[in-house]
Amino acid sequence: MVLDLRTIYVVTSLTVALLGAVQLASYFIGRFGRWPLWWGLGNILTGFGSFCIAFRDLAPDVVTIDIGNSATVAGYVCMLPAVRLFANRPAHLRYVALAALTGTLISVLVLDGASGTRGRIIFGSLVCCIVDLVIAREGVLLGLRERLYSAWILVSLYLPTALIFAVRALLAATGEIGRERLFDGSSAHTALAVFAVLFIVLRNMVMMLMAAERNHHQLTAFATSDPLTGALNRAGLARAYGALGATRVTALLIDMDHFKALNDRHGHAAGDTLLRMLVEVVKTRLRPGDVVARLGGDEFVVLLADASLDDAARMAGGISKDFSDAISAHGTFKVHPTLSIGIARRSTAAMTLEALLQNADAALYRSKQQGRNRIEAHVEEPLAA
């Protein structure tokens, strides 16, 4: 059975509306925020508009042209706030409403009647093309910012549909399609519609895939991060150490001097502030590939990838200075905490994290013993001759 263009419109409308209903249901579950509301509403409006258009020449023009095109344009525009809300960016709903209203007025007042078929195809295709390009841009930003692999799938699905709509507008502008009644048409129009249906279904699915991938990232972060400071916890540290592979690794074991005295004098809230302040200072010094983790209490470890002892000593000195500056700028602590830091370097690729931390702890102990506020490095003893 060969599908004609009218049948493709009907199938598309029902498919898109069904996907919209599913997304609305996911919104009412309450787990995904507000973006499924707008995505589902956009799909339902687009599906409804396509269904009305499918009955062109069979139903009154007010239904198949005015209502159909207006609903389709409004539904497509509704997908913009959905993607922006998913990306935790402002939705600018006033501008969205203005764009939907403008599109409706153009469809109804300017491109009305059967004689406006080519104009409506050009206008609707350009609107869809622009929306697809904007959503593809949001996908690129999501992929870069949140490292969502599924965001790049979204981009790979929206760029082709933007091209399809651009080609459709070009064909209408050159008179290849739209010269006759909508469904008396060319094979090119039918082929474009088939491809559009496939991509529309796939990109609806990828939105849910992005939500699932983000949830996975969040669960992983909860399991591997310290909730107070945002640094890695012990589980996250072990995972990061394993990911470093065979590269040379240097550890900085950092302990805050006089932390107990500060807690006793200023209270635990002030102590928590100090811990967060230290992590913020450390993070400003980290290079790509470096990590910071909280071992417990006021003790932290920094893993430096591909760093010598001299590099680590400079990093430790910078952290101590920046932390002292941050304490002075805060200006509310009568007890002025300092940092004692022990440095150790992984001697072999087979050295375990526990062995590396044990060496760093020995250097830290020596720093404490020699008066605190010092940086000491663990030096491997030479093998006996």
Distance CA 122, CA 211 (A): 33
Encode 276-287: b = buried (16+ Cβ within 10 Å), e = exposed: ebbbebbeebbe
- Scan for tokens 């002075």, then name that residue: 328
CA nearest neighbour of 110 among 97, 124, 98: 124
User: Which residues have C-beta within 8 Å of that of residue 144, sequence separation ≥ 6?
Assistant: none
Q: Delimit the domains of the chain by residue range.
A: 5-224, 234-377
By the 8 A CB rule, do 231 and 294 touch?
yes
Task: Quote the pLDDT of residue 189.
Answer: 64
Looking at residue 296, its amino acid is: G
- Scan for tokens 């600018």, then name that residue: 92
Task: Quote the pLDDT of residue 319.
Answer: 95
Does 1 score more than 70 pLDDT? no
The model's pTM is: 0.69
Give the angle 89-93-98 at the CA atoms, nearest 5°. Answer: 135
Does 375 score more than 90 pLDDT? yes
CA nearest neighbour of 57 among 16, 4, 17: 4
- Scan for tokens 């973006």, then name that residue: 35
Query: pLDDT tens digits for 306-359?
Result: 888 889 999 999 999 999 998 888 777 777 789 999 999 988 878 899 999 999
- Range of weakest confidence among 73-82, 193-202, 316-325: 193-202
Encode 361-372: b = buried (16+ Cβ within 10 Å), e = exposed: bebbeebeeeee
Q: Between the ranges 260-269, 291-300, 332-341, where is the mean pLDDT highest? A: 291-300
Q: How many CB atoms lie within 10 A of CB 212?
A: 12
By the 8 A CB rule, do 154 and 203 touch?
yes
What CATH number matches the domain at 5-224, 3.40.50.720, 3.40.1350.10, 3.40.30.10, 1.20.1070.10?
1.20.1070.10
* Equal fold, 5-224 vs 234-377: no
Task: Quote the pLDDT of residue 182.
Answer: 64
Average pLDDT over residues 183-207: 73
Average pLDDT over residues 273-291: 92
Average pLDDT over residues 97-126: 76
- Read out DSSP for 190-244? HHHHHHHHHHHHHHHHHHHHHHHHHHHHHHHHHHHB-TTT-SB-HHHHHHHHHHT
Average pLDDT over residues 167-176: 85
Q: Return the structure tokens found at 175.
A: 């008179």
Task: Quote the pLDDT of residue 44.
Answer: 94
Distance CA 349, CA 140 (A): 37
Q: Between the ranges 3-7, 97-101, 232-236, where is the mean pLDDT highest? A: 232-236
- Range of weakest confidence among 51-55, 153-157, 249-253: 51-55
What CATH number matches the domain at 234-377, 3.40.50.720, 3.30.70.270, 3.30.930.10, 3.40.50.2300?
3.30.70.270
Query: pLDDT tens digits for 357-366?
Result: 999 999 999 9
By the 8 A CB rule, do 127 and 103 touch?
yes
Task: Quote the pLDDT of residue 10.
Answer: 87
CA nearest neighbour of 319 among 231, 233, 234, 254: 254
Distance CA 275, CA 259 (A): 10
